Amino acid sequence: MNTQIYRFKKLIAITLTPVIFAACSAGPIKPEGADMARNKLIQLQSDPQLASRAPVAIQEAELAVRAAEVPQEDVGLGKHLVFMADRKIDIATFQAQSRLSEDQRKMLSEQRDNARLDSRTREADRAHSEATAARREANLANMDTEIALQQAADLQKQIAELNAKATDRGLVVTLGDLLFDTGKATLKGGAASHLGKLAAFLNQYPDRTVMIEGHTDNVGSEDFNLGLSQRRANSVMTYLIHQGVASNRLAAYGKGENFPINDNESASGRQQNRRVEIIIANTATR
């Protein structure tokens, strides 16, 4: 009887050892869907007609896919990165296909024009049509100029109201730590007055993509600050989505304490480093 009990215990130990080992070795995993996003991007990059027509957008999609391929312990963050990568690929594909269609349309238009030039009997009609079109285009150009001037004036006014700074990355709106309580990532009640104008601006210019970057000072551990900055960036992104800004235009990133704009030796320096930066693309992503 004792021999049977011993064999039974040994069998249980052998059976459970791989399970216990597997549980102890769990760690970050590659987000689900990252491979599909990579294959989707490779397909776009492999098409020479499309890849040559949206190089900047494809490069941004490449960066987003690389981020999505990084193993994550946070499943939700992994899903968000995969979603953003997929949206970037869709944007790049749409732009490339649109430009390809436009190029093809222009080529067909040129072919039609050449055919008309070869026909002497239609020369007079062609000249008349071109003159009419020129007058129409001139009128439209005048209207476009007036509209463009007004839009430019409105844009400059809105930029001034947002206290935005023009940079190579786009328009940068810096929101100080007044939006959050110390160590917290929930927007304070007065945040609407700061973010309302920003949401209205983004809704008026729907072709502009937005990056939201959270930053902290160096008080506390680096891991805590990184997580806090990500949660604060996510809070701002959620608010903008609730104000009607399309989610596929937005990306939120936590930068932690790694990108200070001032030293952390003084209280005023640390306060400047505790911020959320909104980077608004100057034009539609290309």
pLDDT for residue 49: 92
pLDDT for residue 156: 63
CB contact at 8 A, 218 and 257: yes
pTM of the predicted model as reported, rounded to 2 decimal places: 0.47
Query: Cα(34)–Cα(86) distance, rounded to whole angstroms?
Result: 9
pLDDT for residue 150: 60
pLDDT for residue 224: 93
Scored b (16 or more CB within 10 A) or e, 178-213 reads ebbeeeebebeeebeebbeebbebbeeeeebbbbbb
Q: Which residues of the chain have pLDDT under 70?
A: 1-26, 146, 148-158, 160-161, 177, 284-286
pLDDT for residue 19: 44
Between vectors from CA 178 to CA 224 and to CA 176, what angle results, nearest 5°? 75
Query: Cα(139)–Cα(225) distance, rounded to whole angstroms?
Result: 57
Query: Cα(86)–Cα(83) distance, rounded to whole angstroms?
Result: 5
pLDDT for residue 149: 59
pLDDT for residue 140: 78
pLDDT tens digit sequence for 44-93: 999 999 989 989 999 999 999 999 999 999 999 999 999 999 999 999 99
Query: Cα(187)–Cα(21) distance, rounded to whole angstroms?
Result: 42
Domain 163-280 homologous superfamily, CATH: OmpA-like domain (3.30.1330.60)
**DSSP code, position 178:** G
